[in-house]
Structure 1
Amino acid sequence: MLTTRQGIRPLNAGDLPAFLELTGRDPVVNVFAEYRARTTSLEPRWLGGEMWGRWSGGDLVAACHVGANLVPIEASEDDALAFGERALGRGRTVSTIVGPQLPVRAFWSMVGPSWGRPRETRWEQPHLEQRLPSRVEPDEHVRRTTRGDLAVLYPACVAMYTEEVGVSPEWGGGSDLYRARVMQLISRGWSFARFDEGRLVFKAEVACATPYAAQIQGVYVPPERRGEGLATRGMAAVAEIVKREIAPAVSLYVNEWNAPARTAYERAGFVETDRFSTVMF
C-alpha cells in the first residue's frame, strides 16, 4: 500500500469499505464524515477537497476531511498532530476546523502559528444526542417546508446563520449559493418549520444523514418569540419525525454559553455524549 509521510495518503473509492468501518466506530459523532463518504464515494471531484487517511499495519486508523470544513475522524492526539504536519505543507485552504475537541485542539496546536489568527474559536461545544423521552409534547404544527415557504423561510435562514456564525451567508455575493442550499434541503425533505399566521416562529434542518444517524442544524426562533417554548416543542417534533422517517438517531452540537438552547434541547430529551470544538476563519 502506497503511503506518504506519517502513514497518511488521500483516500479514494477503493478505500470506501475501510472508511465506513472507521466511521462505524461512532456513527453518530461521525455522521458528517460518513454522509460525505456515502454521497461522494471519496472521489475528490465530488468531495471538493480530499479525505486523508492514516494507516498502520495495513489498517485505516484515522481520517481527516479536508474541504471547506476540516474534520478529524476517529483521530487520536497523535493522529491529529500527524494530519496537522501534513496540512502545514499545503497552507490553509479551509474556512472551518470542527470536530471532537481533543483532535481539533491537537491539530490547531500544530497549524495555528502558521495559519494565522482565526476569526473566532469555540472550544466548548457539547455534542448532544436524543436518548431520553422528551419532557414536552412535540409541536403538532411543525411540518416539512415546501418551495412555497421560501419567501418566509429564506430570511429566517439568513438571520439564523448571521447570528450563529457572525457573518451573513450573503456576504461577498453568496446569496445565490446559499439560496440553492436552502432549496436543496427543502427538496430533500430535510427542512422543518412552524408558521403562525404566515410568519415563521421556529425552524430547523437536517444537515446530513446516514442509515444510522442524522445531525440537526439551523435551529432558530425569531427574537420576539423566544421564551415561549417554541424551540423545545419544535425540536421534540423534529426529532420525532427524523427518527421515524430519516435515521434512527438524532444529534447536534451547541455552544456551551447558549443556556436557553441547551435547556430546550435537554427538555426535548437530548443528552451530552461528547465535546466538539470549532475554529472559524
Structure 2
Amino acid sequence: MAKMLSRVAPWLASHRDGAAPDGVTVRTLGAADTAGLHELAGADPVANVFILSHLESTGTAAPTPGGANVLGVFDGDSLVGACWAGANLVPVQLAPALTGAVAAAAHRSGRRYASIFGPAPTVLALHSELENLGHLAHEVRADQPLMTIAGPPAVEPNWQLGFGQDADFDTILPACAAMFEEEVGYSPYLGGRDFYSRRVAGLIRQGHSLVHLNDGEVVFKAELGAVTSDVTQVQGVWMNPSYRGLGLSAGYMAAVVLLAQKMAPITSLYVNDYNSRARATYERVGFRQVGTFATVLF
C-alpha cells in the first residue's frame, strides 16, 4: 500500500480526466477475484457490511444477472480498492486519491446511479469526480455517524416488536414506502412498484423485517438491510407519526438490537448528523460512533 500511495501523491494535484496513476488499473471483478475482494472488505467488516453480505449470499464477486458488478482497483496484481456499481455506488476500502479512475469507469458504463454511500472521505471524493463528469447530485449528506453496539442494550426492549411475516406484506409495504419518502424526498414507486415491492417482500422472507403491528397498522418498523455472520446493518427505522413523541423509540431499538444479535454479534447503523433526536435515542440504547459515512443522492 505504501508503494501505491507514493505513486498516487504526485498525481493528486493535476488529474482531471479520470486517468489512474502509473501501475494502477481498474477492471470489473470476476469469480476468480472473490477471495481477494473478501480479504479486502474484511479489513473493516462494519463499514463494508454491504459488500460482505453480498459475497456471503452469492459466493462470488462476478457480475450479477441484473448487471451489477464490482469495479476493482489494482496496483500491479494487488487489489487495493473496489467499488460496487449497481443501482448505487458503494466504495470498498477505496482511497480517496483513487476515486478518479473509478468514477471514469462508472461513467463509461452509461449507468444512472441512485446514490453513493460509504465512508465519508471516499464518498465525497467520488462525488466530486462524478460531478466533473456531469453527474449532478440531488442532495449531499456529508456527515452521517456510523454507530455500533456489540453488547446488551442499555434499556429494556419492547417485545411487541417481532419479525415480519409474509401475511403482513400488504401492511408493511406502505409503511416502508412512507419511510422512504420521508427520508429521501420522493416515492420509491417512481420507477414502478415492482422493484421496491420485491425488495420489501425479500426482506420479510429472509427474516430481516422487524415490525410491531397493532390493529392492522404498523406502529414501528426497521429492516436489517445487510447481514453477515459478523455484522448487521439496521436501515429503514420508522415510527408511525401517531405514536411519535411518546418515548417509545428506545425500547423498540433495544429489541431491534437483540433480534439482530441472533444473527451477528455487532449491530450497526448510520444516521444523519442533523437528526439529533434519533442520535440521542441510539446513544441511549448503547450505540457508539465508530466512523463517519456520507450519502450522495442523485
TM over 0.5: yes
The corresponding residue for 2:286 is 269
Measure, in 2, the Cα distance between the counterparts of 1:43 and 1:69.
17
Q: Structure 2 vs 1, CA of residues 112 and 243 (structure 1 numbering), >3 Å: closer, same or farther?
A: same
Distance 1:248 1:48, change over 3 A: farther
> Which segment is superposed worse, 185-194 or 41-50?
41-50
* 2:239 is the counterpart of 1:221: yes
Per-residue deviation, residues 172-213 of structure 1 (Å, max 9, x unmatched):
3x2222222111111111111112333321100111111111
Q: Conserved in 2, the CA contact under 8 Å of 1:201 and 1:222?
A: yes
Q: Is the 8 A contact 1:213 1:250 kept in 2?
A: yes
Task: Quote the residue 1:258 is aligned against.
Answer: 275
Partner of 1:177: 195
2-structure distance, mates of 1:116, 1:16: 30
Partner of 1:95: 114
Equivalent pair of 2:88/2:115 in contact (CA under 8 Å): yes
The one-letter code matched in structure 1 to 2:238 is Y
| Alpha-carbon contact 2:36-2:79 (below 8 Å) kept | yes
RMSD (CA atoms): 1.8
Q: 1:125 Cα shift?
A: 0.8
| 8 Å contact kept, 1:62–1:73 | yes
Aligned to 1:111: 130
AA in 2 matched with 1:213: V
Question: C-alpha deviations, 1:16-51, integer Å up to 9, x for none?
Answer: 111110111011110001112333312213363220
Check whether the contact 1:220–1:231 (CA below 8 A) recurs between aligned residues.
no
Unaligned runs of 5+ in 1: none
TM-score scaled by length of structure 2? 0.87
Q: Does 1:247 align with 2:264?
A: yes
**Partner Cα separation in structure 2 for residue 214 and residue 183 of structure 1:** 19
Contact 1:207 1:217 in 2 (8 A): yes
- Letter of the 2:124 counterpart: R
| 1:156 maps to amino acid | A
Separation of aligned partners in 2, 1:93 and 1:179: 21
Matches within 5 A, 1:107-256: 107-131=126-150, 133-172=152-191, 174-244=192-262, 246-256=263-273
Alignment map for 1:2-81 (pairs within 5 Å):
6-40=24-58, 41-46=60-65, 48-81=67-100
Number of residues of Structure 1 aligned to a counterpart in Structure 2: 276
- Cα contact 2:85–2:106 (8 A) shared by 1: no
Residue aligned with 1:115, SS: coil
CA offsets 1:134-162 (integer angstroms, 9 cap, x no match): 23101111111112222321111111011
- Provide the C-alpha distance between the structure 2 equivalents of 1:98 and 1:249, rounded to a whole number of angstroms: 20
Distance in 2 (alpha carbons) for counterparts of 1:160 and 1:222 = 9
Q: Residues 61, 196 of structure 1: CA spacing in aligned structure 2 closer, same or farther, 3 A cutoff?
A: same
* Cα separation, 1, equivalents of 2:261 and 2:65: 28
Range that drifts further, 77-86 or 247-256: 77-86
